[in-house]
Structure 1
């Protein structure tokens, strides 16, 4: 079995597994309890928060633990918008965001009367100038992803952050596909709110965090004083500790991992050179994600044929599984009727993939598509 859908989720690292099991076995107290068991749990929670803050070069009180990237996005967008609507009701974002951003923004539009501008890429790219031209005096929030989950495209985050220094709008970045793959220091980049998810960098599913430099967030969950009253619910202690250890481990070797994954990507494209193909949004990319189209080949059929051979890839975001609608990311790039929307597949790598696996994939693709 060959797994090449790491943009959907990554396998747990041995370090994360060890931390997850150790904390689960030895520390079961509630971090909010005052007795010894609770204090022991609270210490582990503090250590995890400090570890993640150190990775981001920020303060521990700027980290809010969540159930994952989706909740972090929702808390950032809905939480900030509802708490600050007296400043304005205009939000600026891109048309290629994950649905964990797009759907909360639709909620703000439909239920609370916010106005959202969705910027489309120009020749496959975004520039800070596009954001500058779309900013308004009543814009209170700008949201742009760090790296696209379907193509790996890197948005100009630093330039947008610099642009917003003299504007009231805060800057939210969905960094789910980038955290753990390269160092990200939000304060240096002008980021005010940043979402991350543990299972994208070899940590557990169901746990993530939101970096925030503002406490003006309307809570989405009510019932307790956890996370400085910003996110009620008993913390998922073992998973939080495992996520922190996975992030620390990933960043310790990020350059080696990046080089390895780039070699895998290059090897695959080189092996597939006899085939006619299109690489989607093939500029300014993280090498971890490769989105390619094979003309005349329906992606659903190709995915099933590869799956029967024990090879797992995808056609886009796992969060839209079962959805027959074409990729909104590719639609923003090419238009609604372009054939590439039904011919594109996503191959996403991790540090655990091997050149032998890439050789097997390319061999099978050459057989299937050469028929």
Structure 2
């Protein structure tokens, strides 16, 4: 055990040295997160330089001024979401926001589509145990995202937890379609937009949702911050004895919140600039190269995330491929980090009748440019060749 621990730490140290020595780093794992934008870092630092006290519950003038800053941040996020959301709650993560909703409802049935993020699934399990309600898990299909049969006999006593997209394969729900079917069925809906905000248009397309949750590190904001938008003021605290917003204990991380709110505005302008400079064309060229060079079966849908290239592969050890690329300074994904990190098998691939192999997930950040591609192709080809099975 001691020798294993020693060599494991030695390997991690050596790999760390290798990664820091790489001059060019290319992030092809944007679904897991992108770098904090420099402008967002500046906003956070400016906030940190404020004079104490920074407790928004303080009754004096400084506390009232800081409380106004928090209100402005909340309004910024609500405005970005649109769809007439009136209430906003800052959390430590989207996961905490899911659990806040789970702690506040008592449904007859809880519906959670297969392939959803683990925090949504685990929140649904908590509701089921607490309320003795039934969990319904509709299977994935490539047309609507899930089988519609589950909608029969549902009403306003039932709750659906759903992602706005399935980043593992790049599938994005048709929000206009969801608006039409859920207005008719009247069930309550929690939608998490963490994986798609900014990458696709969602403003004023979420009228069917009762709650919307998100984190910010996938579009240039800091980790450690989440948000819950709700239509009604009905959220109950996860634990009691709190004063901050009546829902969370302690003093909230206002500086991170300021950075998070600003990142929503910042991402929109950077995304537009990247597109004008050929980012979309570079992504298409990369997708074409991967399909032709590696002979993979790419997942393609009518509605999709523009930064996700996901393919089914069987002839390559993907763990070896990822590690080879990492040493070269190129980072690719493994599906949603919370699923792959937990060692869970993909429910989506199961529902697509893919029994063998894995999905190769490549999702470029906004820094991908056409002039990067030849260098990137060279690294991909070498790493792929070294990782082939048999």
| TM-score, length-scaled by structure 2 | 0.83
Q: Distance in 2 between matches of 1:16 and 1:34?
A: 29
Match of 2:285 in 1: 267
Evaluate the alpha carbon distance shift between residue 333 and residue 115 of structure 1 in structure 2; reply closer, same or farther with a 3 A threshold.
Answer: same
Match of 2:117 in 1: 98
Deviations 1:173-222 (A, max 9, x none): 11111122234235653221111111111010000111110222232243
Evaluate the alpha carbon distance shift between residue 71 and residue 333 of structure 1 in structure 2; reply closer, same or farther with a 3 A threshold.
Answer: farther
Match of 1:364 in 2: 379
Mark the structure with the bigger radius of gyration.
Answer: 2
* Consecutive aligned runs of 4 or more in structure 1 exceeding 6 Å deviation: none
- Secondary structure of the corresponding residue to residue 112 of structure 2: strand
Q: 1:149 aligns with which of 156, 163, 167?
A: 167
Residue 296 of structure 1 deviates from its aligned partner by 1.1
Q: 2:140 aligns with which of 95, 116, 121?
A: 121
Question: Is residue 6–residue 349 contact of structure 1 (8 Å, CA) maintained in 2?
Answer: yes
Residue 41 of structure 1 deviates from its aligned partner by 1.5
Larger mean CA deviation between 152-161 and 21-30 belongs to: 152-161
Match of 1:209 in 2: 227
Evaluate the alpha carbon distance shift between residue 34 and residue 191 of structure 1 in structure 2; reply closer, same or farther with a 3 A threshold.
Answer: same
Match of 1:31 in 2: 56
Evaluate the alpha carbon distance shift between residue 220 and residue 357 of structure 1 in structure 2; reply closer, same or farther with a 3 A threshold.
Answer: farther
Q: Distance in 2 between matches of 1:128 and 1:330?
A: 13
Evaluate the alpha carbon distance shift between residue 136 and residue 258 of structure 1 in structure 2; reply closer, same or farther with a 3 A threshold.
Answer: farther
Number of aligned residue pairs: give it.
359
Question: Is residue 90–residue 114 contact of structure 1 (8 Å, CA) maintained in 2?
Answer: yes
Q: 1:196 aligns with which of 207, 211, 214?
A: 214
| 1:302 lines up with 2:327 in the alignment | no
Match of 1:46 in 2: 71
Match of 2:4 in 1: none
Q: Distance in 2 between matches of 1:221 and 1:20?
A: 28
Deviations 1:239-277 (A, max 9, x none): 111111110122245444457543232111222313210
Question: Is residue 91–residue 139 contact of structure 1 (8 Å, CA) maintained in 2?
Answer: no
| 1:355 lines up with 2:374 in the alignment | no
Evaluate the alpha carbon distance shift between residue 133 and residue 39 of structure 1 in structure 2; reply closer, same or farther with a 3 A threshold.
Answer: closer
Q: 1:223 aligns with which of 210, 230, 241?
A: 241
| 1:63 lines up with 2:88 in the alignment | yes
Question: Is residue 147–residue 286 contact of structure 1 (8 Å, CA) maintained in 2?
Answer: yes
Evaluate the alpha carbon distance shift between residue 189 and residue 15 of structure 1 in structure 2; reply closer, same or farther with a 3 A threshold.
Answer: same
Please, what is the CA RMSD of the aligned residues? 2.5
Residue 58 of structure 1 deviates from its aligned partner by 5.7
| TM-score, length-scaled by structure 1 | 0.87
Question: Is residue 181–residue 258 contact of structure 1 (8 Å, CA) maintained in 2?
Answer: no
Task: Spell out the pairing of 1:234-313 with structure 2 (5 A cutoff).
Answer: 234-257=251-274, 260-272=278-290, 273-313=292-332
- Unpaired segments ≥5 residues, structure 2: 1-24
- Unpaired segments ≥5 residues, structure 1: none
Q: Distance in 2 between matches of 1:30 and 1:60?
A: 26
